[in-house]
Amino acid sequence: MNTLPDTTKLATLHELDSLLPREIRGQSHALPRLISTLKRGELGLCKPGRPRGSFLLLGPTGVGKTEVTLVFTNHLFGPGRLFRFDMSEFQNQEALGLLLGAKLGERGFFGAIREGASEGTLLFDEIEKAHPRILDLFLQLLDAARLTIATGEALDFSGFYVVMTTNLGSAELMSLQHSSEATLERHVLSRAQQALRPEVFARISEKLVFHRLSYEHQLEIAEKFLAREIAFLAERGHRLELHPGVLPFLVRKGFHPKLGARPMRDAAEKLVGDAVAERLLAGKGASGELAVDEERDCLIVR
């Protein structure tokens, strides 16, 4: 007999509807599909013998592909359950041994993961850079949620989500920037299908194209990271109010055309931290208004 999920699990799944849009800005078109797949996976509605869900996240660097994976993994499983692979480090055939074990008796990275965890998320960043032999593994992983390592053991990954990210097609989007979103998505998906091989592409549950961040979304992301810094400092007795010019300043310092919003967190920590440190070193309390010093091109507390 099937049993209903407990109330804690139900609450955790309902929270995804507010958590992911709050943490990941500018991708409201993609998040509902991702959330639906996660809910099905957690409720046991995925097909037996397959991962709980699989995603191909496409789009430019720094728009939230890796971040959304970290957020949902931490929410569903807690910290330490995201296992990330930079596929630029797996461009030759010998790298296969790192994953599965290079010789008889070795367990490789996948063996080590399964030894310590029965559920979580496998994240493969820049999947297009992987050697073709490594792509063959994904046929097994996506089809049967099983991988055979050098010990001869068949590992079960049916408790895991599989996430692949790629920038494929993003470079050409600038020449298509006046096209409709549907046209842009078709272009990116077509490039990915060619690079990943149709048989791998077809086995992925959801292919989601993340869009470039508008200036408004850049401001929202800057506000999110500033709020974290202000809360962190408030816990230490330093209470700050924001001057309206701070958010545009942080976007200018923390958003990069090629890296997207990826540098924003570090920029917020450094710029706000430097302003507070300068105030404390001057022998003054660090509470006050956080503002922009245009002449020195920095933030100050006044």
CA distance 124 to 88: 10
- Could you count the other beta carbons within 10 Å of the beta carbon of residue 248? 14
Q: Examine domains 7-209 and 215-301 and report if their fold is the same.
A: no
CA distance 274 to 299: 8
Structure tokens at 250: 């942080």
Q: What does the pLDDT read at residue 194?
A: 83
Q: What does the pLDDT read at residue 1?
A: 46
Domain ranges of the chain: 7-209, 215-301
Dihedral pair phi/psi, residue 166, rounded to 5°: -155, 150
Nearest Cα residue to 161 out of 13, 12, 54: 54
Q: What does the pLDDT read at residue 168?
A: 82
β-pairing verdict for 120-125 and 82-86: parallel
Whole-prediction pTM value?
0.88
Q: Is domain 215-301 given the CATH code 1.10.8.60 in the classification?
A: yes
Q: What does the pLDDT read at residue 2?
A: 58
Structure tokens at 71: 């957020």
Torsion sign over Cα 287, 290, 292, 298: positive
CA distance 233 to 175: 43
Q: What is the pLDDT along the chain (302 residues), one digit of tens a residue?
A: 456 678 889 999 999 999 999 999 999 999 999 999 999 999 999 888 899 999 999 998 899 999 999 999 999 999 999 999 999 999 988 888 899 987 766 788 999 999 999 999 999 999 989 988 888 888 899 999 999 998 889 999 999 999 999 988 776 665 556 566 777 788 888 888 888 888 888 999 999 999 888 899 999 999 999 999 999 999 999 999 999 999 999 999 998 877 888 889 999 999 999 999 999 999 888 789 999 999 999 999 99
**Residues 30, 58 contacting (CB under 8 angstroms):** no
Q: What does the pLDDT read at residue 47?
A: 85
Protein fold of 7-209: Rossmann fold (3.40.50)
